[in-house]
Amino acid sequence: MKHCGTQKLETNRLVLRRFDVTDAQAMYRNWASDPEVTKYLTWPAHKSPEVSRAVLESWIPLYQNKDYYQWAITLKESPGEPVGSIAAVRVDDDLSLVHIGYCLGKNWWHRGLMSEALAAVISFFFDQVGVNRVECRHDPRNPRSGMVMKACGMRYEGTVRSADRNNQGVCDACLYGLLRSDRVSLSN
């Protein structure tokens, strides 16, 4: 893989960019404090904007690493303010694999924005970084997350029982993947 770090990505409606510490208030307000948004995530809802700020302060120095990928999702119609995040939560150079996780504020749900963001990130990893495999997972009680993965051409690979933990406790994990060869065959 040719790691190049978190690069600015643009789609029709979105700009994916690096976080800045000044994003803490928007992060807290738009998604991180909402228990409905974090229900199936691996981290609890933030109790204050200071928690969001501390998280961003821990992420920002990591942008120096070429294998660190963490984007703020912003709308072109309201530039600058993040409404969600998307990241490579696991990078495995040996397998040439990235595992992507994401979340979006509920005010922006059901508009196709996360599918648009995920598609851009998938393209970035295949085209710029040169990965062989992109994967995601979701709790089966959160099927809309799986719909995002399917919309981006990812294939359902099975459900692993009691293989994950989120804010609901130990849970099953529905796995989705996309290989470089799948992507080539999809474009033909």
**For residue 7, what are the contacts with CB-CB under 8 A and spacing of at least 6?**
124, 128
pLDDT, mean of residues 36-44: 96
pLDDT digits (tens, 9 = 90+) for 48-67: 999 999 999 999 999 999 99
Task: Using the predicted structure, report yes or no on whether residue 164 has a pLDDT greater than 70.
Answer: yes
Task: Using the predicted structure, report yes or no on whether residue 7 has a pLDDT greater than 90.
Answer: yes
Whole-angstrom CA distances from 8 to 69, 92, 131 are: 11, 22, 18
pLDDT, mean of residues 100-118: 97
The whole-model pTM stands at 0.95
- CATH numbers and ranges of domains, the chain: 9-133 (3.40.630.30)
Question: Which run of H or of E encompasses 75?
Answer: strand 70-75
Task: Using the predicted structure, report yes or no on whether residue 187 has a pLDDT greater than 60.
Answer: no
pLDDT of residue 186: 59
pLDDT of residue 82: 98
Can you tell me the distance from the alpha carbon of 79 to that of 163, in angstroms, rounded to the nearest whole number? 38
